[in-house]
Amino acid sequence: MQTDAGSISPPRRWPRGQKFRLSAAGVPAEVGHREAVATARAGGRSGLAAALGAWALPLGVQPGDGVVLVELRERQLGLNDLAASLEAAGIEPAELKAIVDRLVSAGLVEPASPPARAA
């Protein structure tokens, strides 16, 4: 993760079992991602790359980050659940954590209620 000075900041540490959900700003961003993918289908890989780049730039995220928004569209998921859902897409757990951190920083995803603690 980059800070304003351009140095890399340490990754966030989320509590075990922390779940995430789309924020109010994340809902239209997820819709925009799905629309960009649907519109670019006829254009092949280069069309998709251009569409996702155009979608991501104003949001301050990476073009591939939208897949996490899609996964969180109708449910709250933790990092382990997201990793299992996206394993077939070739997204490694460390990369997934960086994506979630970027989406949280951009205000598109937010932590759901804190996980319950054992008594």
What is the spatial distance between Cα 27 and Cα 29, in angstroms, rounded to a whole number? 5
C-alpha 97/C-alpha 76 separation (Å) is 15
Work out the end-to-end distance of the chain between its first and last CA atoms, rounded to an integer number of angstroms.
Answer: 35
- pLDDT tens-digit readout, 25-71: 999 999 999 999 998 887 788 889 999 999 999 999 999 999 999 99
Cα–Cα distance between 8 and 79 in angstroms, integer?
22
| Helices 44-56 + 26-40 axis angle, to 10 | 160
Sign of the torsion formed by the C-alpha atoms of 88, 91, 92 and 93: negative
pLDDT digits over 69-109, tens only?
999 999 999 999 999 999 888 999 999 999 999 999 999 99
